[in-house]
């Protein structure tokens, strides 16, 4: 998960999308991390409804675990903010969510969360990660 967000936003996204499409659909519901791969694949395909559906699945799976990896939680928080808050125009809630994400990120060092600086940049940048409407 540490580099997924970076790859989705990078110039290498087409190759990354091809890789994500190789994941058997039945596996996407087996872990929050794989569900987030489904979110990224749907995002790269411009499938907004699919993004929302997979994101809900990823959150449900994460909430059902005793412990969730920091990279998974950060990816979830950033994607949820971009998908639910920014698209609805809920700017106050978006600022609050981004502030909370930035606060949580202060608990980590880059050796603990390799994509820390990328997560921080996404939390600070707006508009956040959301699929374009078709």
pLDDT by residue for the chain (134 residues), tens digit each? 545 555 565 566 778 888 888 999 999 999 999 999 999 899 888 898 999 999 999 999 999 999 999 989 998 998 888 887 767 777 888 888 888 889 999 999 999 888 888 888 888 875 444 444 44
Q: Nearest-CA neighbor of 88 among 101, 99, 76, 97?
A: 97
**Percent of the chain that is helix, strand, coil (3-state, to 5):** 70, 0, 30
What are 82's two structure tokens? 């971009």
Residue labelled with tokens 């058997």: 24
């Amino acid at each position: 998960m540490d580099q997924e967000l970076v790859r989705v936003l990078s110039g290498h996204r087409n190759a990354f999308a091809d890789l994500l499409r190789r994941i058997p659909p039945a596996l996407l519901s087996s872990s929050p991390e794989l569900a987030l791969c489904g979110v990224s694949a749907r995002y790269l395909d411009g499938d907004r409804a699919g993004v929302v559906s997979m994101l809900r699945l990823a959150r449900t799976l994460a909430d059902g675990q005793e412990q969730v990896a920091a990279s998974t939680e950060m990816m979830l928080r950033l994607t949820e903010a971009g998908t639910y808050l920014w698209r609805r125009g809920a700017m106050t809630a978006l600022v609050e969510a981004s502030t909370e994400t930035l606060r949580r990120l202060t608990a980590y060092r880059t050796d603990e969360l390799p994509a820390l600086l990328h997560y921080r940049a996404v939390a600070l940048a707006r508009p956040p990660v959301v699929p374009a409407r078709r």
